[in-house]
Structure 1
Amino acid sequence: MNTYVIGDLQGCHGETVALVERILEHEQEAGREPPSLLFCGDLINRGPDSLSTLRYVQALAQGSGGRIDAVLGNHDLHLLAVANGIRPESSSDTIEHILAAADREALLHWLRMRPMAIMAKGHLLVHGGVLPQWTAQKTMELAGEVESALRHDEWVDFLRDMYGNQPDRWDDALTGTARLRCIVNALTRMRFCTADGVMDFKMKESARVDASTGLMPWFEVPGRCTTDTTVVFGHWSALGLRITPQWIALDSGCVWGGQLSAVCLDDRSLLQVECPEYRAAKGKGKA
């Protein structure tokens, strides 16, 4: 069974259906069994039909016996926070139909039960990034800590404390809210950091930054501990689609008039569908 990882959907329902159907047809024509499909987070928001997109992925996953799943992205967590009165809706949000849906609670419950990271065929899947101090095993363990908080009876209390840019670096001695916030920020928000793993959350619109800042893309940090594992991530439309031996960037700007992309982990083949420009691809917030 082949495994495909699909980039940020961001509420682009028609394109999501088209790409999934293309993958299934491709595998069927090759005489293979139905593939595993993994989504790299940000299933919803900014695109034209967040509700239908979330319902579609939920239905695919629930009928798959674990073959289809998604990691949580920052927009998915934002939806959970808005739904519980912790964060206000933004003018750029397109989640109002989810919040008003009759099946809202079932959708939100399914969403918060999703993992923060997935290991599949020697690849580590996250939405944002992995701090240089973390091995793949450590990343999965720390992701599990956040998953436990989200699945706990007091999960709304966790959401209340989740937001903030501090601490901006990892320390094994971190505990409680500070520890969980640092993990969430790395796995769902990080793009740039320093050589010793201090995260930056201001740079969003570029794939590069002036060297004088001391910042670099997290995957370029010398000696990072996941160089023995291919990390697959989304979240970074300005970076675009990149496929390298050590990392795969899958946010090819679907909502910004780019493509929705899927990479087969078994042979690195690429399938894409073109997307209309639902949002003007300029200015802040291309993530």
Structure 2
Amino acid sequence: MATYFIGDIQGCYDELQAILSKVDFTPSRDELWIVGDMVARGEKSLETLRFIRSLDNAAKPVLGNHDLHLLALHHKIKRVNPSDKLGTLLSAPDCQQLIDWLREQPLIRENHKHKVLMSHAGIPPQWDKETALTQAQAVHQALSAPDYASQLITNMYGNQVDAWDETLDDQARLIYTINALTRMRYLHSDGRLDFDCKLAPQSNDNPELTPWFSIPHELTDQYTLVFGHWAALMGQVDSPKYQALDTGCCWGQHLTLWHLESNEKITQNKLKKS
């Protein structure tokens, strides 16, 4: 059995198939841990979701911000942006089944054997493992509720809840959790989330902002933290206890697959349109 972690696919279905072929990925034998943002930007979000769903237990996805946004589009809470290229998926006959499957996916997955925690954007440095898993589970339960669209998806947009506080009410806790686990890049000096800067650390000249993974994190004493979301990093982080896997395939760069057992990274360049 091989355990693979893959960066943001974002509808790059052909590249996904190409990279899995390189490692002879076999669902009956191997596992594919998917760091979120399975859809949007690329040309084939529908094919991507259908394929990942077909892998059944061999696929271990978490939700990213684009996956959550798809739920909002499905319920017409937000308008479709043509650049997301989600029209085909939203009009597909099996769209509802794919949406229902997507709602069942968590925001954090733990690989107990290898001591790995995976989320889309990262885990806030001020959170211990219990807090992270408890908060992720709360969002998971909210997504599973019949009224999830009106109670959660409608209210998840906005930058107002940018700091963690034990006194936050239940709704604010859910929103902060979504913001942190699916949108986080930089933190302000007081620990607040920054929602604006997407630059790579070497290009950022604002001393007020620090990459979340550059702040000491007690989880890294025992765990490797796997994340995506931040394409500008191109996989470059300052510690082996972090694995950054978004390498901008949908922006013309490449898809990255991390083979956990060998600590090898395999890449697949963006394919040219025929």
Please give the alpha-carbon distance, in whole angstroms, between the structure 1 residues aligned to 2:213 and 2:130: 17
| TM superposition score normalised by structure 1 | 0.88
CA contact (8 A) 1:233 1:249 kept: yes
Deviation at residue 50 of structure 1 after TM alignment: 1.0
The answer to which of 238-247 and 90-99 deviates more is 238-247
Q: For the aligned residues, what is the CA RMSD?
A: 1.8
Q: Does 1:119 align with 2:89?
A: no
Question: Deviation of residue 35 (structure 1)?
Answer: 1.5
Q: Does 2:140 correspond to 1:147?
A: yes
- Give how far 1:154 is off: 1.4
Identity %: 39
* Alpha-carbon distance in 2 for matches of 1:140, 1:127: 14
Q: Unaligned regions of 5+ residues in structure 2, if any?
A: none
- Paired residue for 2:243? 248
* Matched residue SS, 1:72: coil
What is the TM-score with the length of structure 2 in the denominator? Answer: 0.92
The one-letter amino acid paired with 1:41 is G
Give matches, 1:1-287, under 5 Å. 1-24=1-24, 34-60=29-55, 62=56, 66-120=57-111, 121-157=114-150, 158-208=152-202, 209-212=204-207, 214-221=208-215, 223-228=216-221, 229-242=223-236, 244-276=239-271
Q: Which runs of 4+ in 1 moved over 3 A?
A: 205-208
Contact 2:119/2:181 (<8 A) preserved: yes
Deviation of 1:242 after TM superposition, in Å, equals: 3.0
Please give the alpha-carbon distance, in whole angstroms, between the structure 1 residues aligned to 2:199 and 2:77: 26
- Aligned-partner residue type, residue 136 of structure 1: K
Question: Contact conserved, 2:250 with 2:270, CA < 8 A, in 1?
Answer: yes
- Distance in 2 between residues matched to 1:174 and 1:267, nearest whole Å: 42
Q: 1:188 to 1:277 in 2, by over 3 A?
A: farther
Which segment drifts farther, 135-144 or 117-126? Answer: 135-144
Question: Equivalent residue for 1:283?
Answer: none
Q: Is there any run of 5+ residues in structure 1 with no aligned partner, and where? A: 279-287
For the residue of structure 2 that corresponds to 1:24, the secondary structure is coil
Quickly say closer, same or farther: Cα 1:247–1:17, change in 2 above 3 A: same
- Deviation track 1:104-146 (CA, whole Å, cap 9, x = no partner) reads 1001111111110101121110001211111233212211110
Give the AA of the match of 1:231.
L
**Local SS of the residue matching 2:110:** strand
- CA–CA distance in 2 between the matches of 1:245 and 1:196? 26
